[in-house]
Amino acid sequence: MKKITIAIDGFSSTGKSTVAKQLAKALGYVYVDTGAMYRAVALYAMQNQLISNDHFDVEKLVSVLNKIKISFKYNDILGFAEVYLNGKNVEKEVRTLEVSQRVSQVAEISAVRKMLVQQQKQMGQEKGVVMDGRDIGTVVFPDAELKLFMTASTETRAERRYKELIEKNENVSYEDVLHNVESRDLIDSTREDSPLVKADDAIEIDNSNLSLDAQFEKLLVLAQNKISE
């Protein structure tokens, strides 16, 4: 059967990864979470004291990019691939609010984007992939057969992210999470290199009032139609 590329972009916490995982499972495709790759680079910068509240040594980070090896390994129990940084599983660490507070600054750097986009293109070269991020339909796979652009109100998104973090026992306040969602959206959509914009041919899905099941059904039909075209 024909394989396609599914590109899912959108603001933070719009549920991209949830539906991307559902689609990948239903279609037998590979799911790639590109946000996890930017998060892993941010974690490396934090672990090596290259970034903190009042300082960010961009030059140094760029000079050590060749030491950052990011990979994914499928976890049978979880049903998706976890992210590894230089051989270590960092799936949990990259999801903390601390990393969320640094990652957009790291994702602004062109050298970081260039390195990661190259790896992403390689991961999807055989199609049969569902990839989510901010620039997948515009930069990584401008020829993707199906492009989705996810949106939801800021409050809905902050509530979702807050719940997720609380469930993981992270000690965060709703206000901090809301502030993080707003500030990341601003940086992600106004940066010079590959800002978050809806591709002209992307289908916009506002899921503020859509159940997970309803959303999945709708997007699966879109994907199946593209596959049988």
**Cα–chain center distance at 179:** 19
Q: Partners of 163 in the beta sheet?
A: none
**What is the x/- site pattern for ligand DC, positions 38-57, by CB under 6 A?**
xx------------------
Kindly tell me which of 12 and 22 has the beta carbon lying closer to ligand DC: 12
Q: Is 226 left (phi over 0), alpha (psi -120 to 50) or beta?
A: alpha
165 interacts with ligand DC by CB under 6 A = no
**What is the x/- site pattern for ligand DC, positions 52-91, by CB under 6 A?**
----------------------------------------
Q: CA 11, 16, 21 angle in degrees (round to 5)?
A: 165
Kindly state the smallest distance separating residue 1's Cβ from ligand DC, in Å. Answer: 27
Binding span for ligand DC by CB under 6 A among 65-73, 74-82, 102-110, 164-172: 102-110
# of chain residues touching ligand DC (CB under 6 A): 14
Q: CA 116, 118, 120 angle in degrees (round to 5)?
A: 70
Cα–Cα distance, 193 to 51 (Å, whole number): 20
Q: Any residues with CB less than 8 A from the CB of 38 and at least 6 apart, and which?
A: 103, 106, 107, 112, 116
Kindly state the smallest distance separating residue 217's Cβ from ligand DC, in Å. Answer: 23
Among 8, 19, 32, 35, binds ligand DC (CB under 6 A): 35
CB crowding 25-63: b at 16 or more within 10 Å, else e: eebebbbbbbbbbbbbbbbbbbeeebbeeeebebeebee
Among 4, 15, 81, 133, binds ligand DC (CB under 6 A): 133
160 interacts with ligand DC by CB under 6 A = no
Q: Any residues with CB less than 8 A from the CB of 58 and at least 6 apart, and which?
A: 109
141 interacts with ligand DC by CB under 6 A = no
Binding span for ligand DC by CB under 6 A among 56-64, 103-111, 141-149, 165-173: 103-111
The site for ligand DC (CB under 6 A) is made up of: 12, 34-35, 38-39, 103-104, 107, 133-136, 184, 188
